[in-house]
Amino acid sequence: MSLILASSSPFRKELLAKLGLDFLTHAPDIDELRHDGETPKQLVYRLAEEKAAEVAKTQSGLIIASDQVATLGSGTQVDDVILTKPRSHENAIKQLQQSSGNTVTFVTSLTLLNTNTNNIQTIVEIFKVVFKVLTTKQIDNYLKKEQPYNCAGSFKSESLGISLFERLEGNDPNTLIGLPLIQLIKMLENEGVDILENQ
């Protein structure tokens, strides 16, 4: 069966490539706006399933879809504010000042859809990043060096962003970058795909 990643994210593509399996990519075009009364956890769960279903309209096989948001809340409350991509230096400074000394919760969903059987598996994984107390100069220097203006929360954990953190709390560091690989391996096994036997 074909393996299809329902994403245009270079980070997710790079993560999936770690597993050594051949796969295609197909970016879904869906409305990603948060619904009224929706928690971050409910939002990412819904979006992963919608992305998989959208790609299934034109592709067949095992479709992998994921979505992620960052919040200063728990991720389970309707009033949790989602940290968006800052898009500018000024917005990124504000975001990192908010995160300084606080915990940012990354809420990441993962869906695996088998188009042959319509079997769908979806999980949501939580990963927490505890920030150091940062000075304005540290924040400004980091942003000028890394320019993470297209990253939710205004940092890239896989590079210099690691210098902003006190500690990380979670089951799988890949989740923070955007794709929970440990959970994905379990889902693929449920569909009869053993990663180590397919090398």
Active-site residue set: 67
Going from the C-alpha of 54 to that of each of 10, 45, 59, 65, the distances in angstroms are: 20, 15, 9, 10
Distance CA 40, CA 45 (A): 9
Tell me the β-bridge partners of 68.
108
Burial degree of 22 (CB within 10 A; 0-12, 13-18, 19+): exposed
Tokens 């051949």 correspond to what residue? 22
Distance CA 171, CA 103 (A): 16
Residues ≥6 apart with Cβ < 8 Å to 105: 70, 71, 72, 73, 74, 75, 126, 127, 128, 129
Distance CA 152, CA 157 (A): 11
Instruction: Answer yes or no: are the C-beta atoms of 183 and 125 closer than 8 Å.
Output: yes
